[in-house]
Structure 1
């Protein structure tokens, strides 16, 4: 690098000291080695996956011509080879992330291949959900023994697929309650990763995959009172959003903060869906008996998530004033109020539209206050989408609708122009 070439001249001119020059050299040296190690880990994992797939394809090409004993041998071969590699890693290469992750990846897929091949060879009956459950149970210790983040991520994907296969695609023949136990089993590894490598790429992947998995699987708990799951999902997104605004996550870039992104997008999507009156009309037709509602799994789940979100909001608010609280943070509480009002009164849809409009205005205000163009446009986009939604379910004339969109367009232009002019004045 050119800066390294200039260091002797800078030292000679007494601009920096020898110690400073050495520190600069060490910094770029460590930065380069860190980048190299990261690439080595990535290519090691990809190499392990490709090798495993290649072996499976080679065996599959001649599978029908092999005897049962030979098939069994090849079924266990990837598993045994991966275990030998993992044993070598534990003895000789414990400190090598690339070796740990590559060996764990091979072992993870080796287990799955062995189970499926043995079942096929000996005609062992079973469905996809039981296969996935067995695979994940066997592979759970890999994450802890090998300290493998890839094994943890693959495990999260596997149990999510298991829950979908069990409760979505095979409904109503089976339930996926074991998913929650499996999720609890892997969360200690997530915590250990947070304590040891809070800024690693593996931590970022977990920050996205954990809330995404919960979002996908929560709907599997819907049974008799599906409408209550709207409370559960709103509280879940509120919980995510508050987690994403805690000190650790708020210091990270937006693309690394899956909790804030999923929480905000999920809340907004639900708000826009419920800004139409169709859901509320169906809700008022339902005959909810409070005693029966209390016994439903939807009520229990929604209550637990809402309480967790409320407690976290309390601790989040404790050291802050209300003006410092993000507008989306308490939205789940406001929705719960609107939901129970909507059981009997049509005013609930008006409240939802008011929430969305107020959210847009508060975001614009916050963007102007922080001199943040992204936040300003975020608020403008919310109001624009709200107006677009009302475009389809109101009797306004085309002229009135056109005037509204022109006004919004002028608002976009004027607010951005004002913000950029303000920045220019501050820079001068």
Structure 2
């Protein structure tokens, strides 16, 4: 139902349904909040994309022209030309807000041009007056000066560039030989404060429709950069043996949050938190099925701030998992959300026998695969069923490299899972054909 044509058709039927008394006016508002606007058709989206691309090309061209003649110019001329792109960008943004405030293409284009102009002005002024500084300092300054553009212009690209810039800044020099451990940790913690500055922009977009393309794009960049700040903060600063619990809490919190607030999305592309969180959690669970992982029990004493962050993610994960249980979502997705508890139990068992932890994690991943497969069969969802088969196949593939299992057993396991894969797909396709 997320296809824009279907949503547009639904909106066209709403006035008649309200007049006929079939649905109340309050439901119309809720539906519009749920699905967002539909003005961004394929043509309008293309206009927006071309506007962003055109602004980026113009900005890059101006920078190249300046660079070509830069050495022949006086310092005063260089200074004037350094600020010129930024002033032009500000004027363009002002004109857009005054004359085209409702045009997404103009807001995105003007915001993109001004964002690039800010970066070029900083770099050119620093080069002209030999101000020095590192690339990381330049990146952070650029990001902080460009973030207001995202809010003022309601533009997406400046917000996305901000997320990428702060993640790059946090991880670029970590752990550098000349950057002390305390300084590096302070930088990784600062990432969270910088991230908090951008999240209100996302929440404002969500209020206009949680399935809008701006919300989805921000969500994808967020979940792809967020692990940088998280794992840098935890690096060598929490109890070493408990890392499976902290990491599983991070991935499952993302997954459960996506399930709670974007669970009705029509495609995987609209579910960034769920998709990345599920992949991370399943990948971690598979890694925990190896014995060597549970033989590393050394304790690393670190800062309370890093431990607080890890505990906060664990509490968030358990709270979201408990909320899904209260809402009666007893499904394979709830089983995936239980990973931190299973990892914690495996950590306790590993103190006596690493093999017991391996057996527990193998049993958990097997149960997860069977649960997802069964859910797919019940709902006749081919994608869900294949996801369950893929989990089981990944588990078998991991055991392929386990030297404690014989070649014959591994070969039979692969054959059986392959036959099951083909059979399940054939049965599902026949059921779908019969239903039609």
Determine if the TM-score, normalized by the shorter chain, exceeds 0.5: yes
Corresponding position of 1:300: 308
Are the aligned partners of 2:256 and 2:274 in contact in 1 as well (CA < 8 Å)? Answer: yes
Partners of 1:78 and 1:90 lie apart in 2 by 18
SS in 2 for 1:167: coil
Partners of 2:415 and 2:85 lie apart in 1 by 64
Comparing 92-101 with 165-174, greater Cα deviation is found at 165-174
Give, in angstroms, the shift of residue 395 of structure 1.
3.2
Note closer, same or farther for the CA distance 1:146–1:270 as it changes in structure 2 (3 Å cut): same
Gaps of 5+ in 2: 1-15, 17-36
Corresponding position of 2:371: 362
Corresponding position of 2:135: 128
Are the aligned partners of 1:245 and 1:260 in contact in 2 as well (CA < 8 Å)? Answer: yes
Corresponding position of 1:143: 150
SS in 1 for 2:334: coil
Corresponding position of 1:109: 116
Does residue 1:277 correspond to 2:291, yes or no? yes
Are the aligned partners of 1:363 and 1:378 in contact in 2 as well (CA < 8 Å)? Answer: yes
Corresponding position of 1:412: 421
Are the aligned partners of 1:166 and 1:176 in contact in 2 as well (CA < 8 Å)? Answer: no
Give, in angstroms, the shift of residue 256 of structure 1.
1.4
Pick the aligned partner of 2:409 from 393, 400, 411.
Answer: 400
SS in 1 for 2:188: coil
Corresponding position of 1:184: 196
Partners of 1:157 and 1:361 lie apart in 2 by 37
By relative contact order (CA 8 Å, sep 6+), the higher-ranking structure is 2
Give, in angstroms, the shift of residue 165 of structure 1.
1.4
Does residue 1:219 correspond to 2:227, yes or no? no
Pick the aligned partner of 2:386 from 377, 386, 392.
Answer: 377
Partners of 1:412 and 1:169 lie apart in 2 by 47
Give, in angstroms, the shift of residue 297 of structure 1.
4.0
Are the aligned partners of 1:339 and 1:348 in contact in 2 as well (CA < 8 Å)? Answer: yes
Instruction: Give the structure-2-normalised TM-score.
Output: 0.84
Corresponding position of 1:53: 60
Are the aligned partners of 1:223 and 1:298 in contact in 2 as well (CA < 8 Å)? Answer: no
Instruction: Give the structure-1-normalised TM-score.
Output: 0.86
> Deviations for 1:76-114, whole angstroms, at most 9, x for unmatched residues?
111111011111112221111111111111111111111
Partners of 1:393 and 1:337 lie apart in 2 by 23
Comparing 396-405 with 111-120, greater Cα deviation is found at 396-405
Are the aligned partners of 1:228 and 1:298 in contact in 2 as well (CA < 8 Å)? Answer: no
Partners of 1:369 and 1:337 lie apart in 2 by 30
Give, in angstroms, the shift of residue 72 of structure 1.
1.3
Give, in angstroms, the shift of residue 51 of structure 1.
0.2
Give, in angstroms, the shift of residue 169 of structure 1.
5.7
Gaps of 5+ in 1: 1-18, 20-29
Pick the aligned partner of 2:318 from 297, 310, 335.
Answer: 310
Corresponding position of 2:357: 348
Partners of 1:188 and 1:112 lie apart in 2 by 23
Corresponding position of 2:330: 322
Look at both structures and tell me which one has the larger radius of gyration over its CA atoms. Answer: 1
Note closer, same or farther for the CA distance 1:106–1:168 as it changes in structure 2 (3 Å cut): farther
Partners of 1:132 and 1:360 lie apart in 2 by 43
Corresponding position of 1:9: none
Aligned length: 394
Corresponding position of 1:268: 282
> Deviations for 1:267-323, whole angstroms, at most 9, x for unmatched residues?
11111222111121122xx157xxx57x54443222110101111222222221534
Note closer, same or farther for the CA distance 1:338–1:199 as it changes in structure 2 (3 Å cut): same
SS in 2 for 1:250: coil
Moved over 6 A (4+): 30-33
Give, in angstroms, the shift of residue 60 of structure 1.
1.0
Note closer, same or farther for the CA distance 1:48–1:233 as it changes in structure 2 (3 Å cut): same
Partners of 1:414 and 1:150 lie apart in 2 by 46
Give, in angstroms, the shift of residue 32 of structure 1.
8.9
Corresponding position of 1:205: 217
Give the 5 Å matches for 1:225-240. Answer: 225=238, 227-240=241-254
Are the aligned partners of 1:244 and 1:250 in contact in 2 as well (CA < 8 Å)? Answer: no
Corresponding position of 2:272: 258
SS in 1 for 2:62: helix
Taking only aligned residues, the RMSD between alpha carbons, in angstroms, comes to 2.4
Give, in angstroms, the shift of residue 375 of structure 1.
1.6
SS in 1 for 2:266: coil
SS in 1 for 2:336: coil
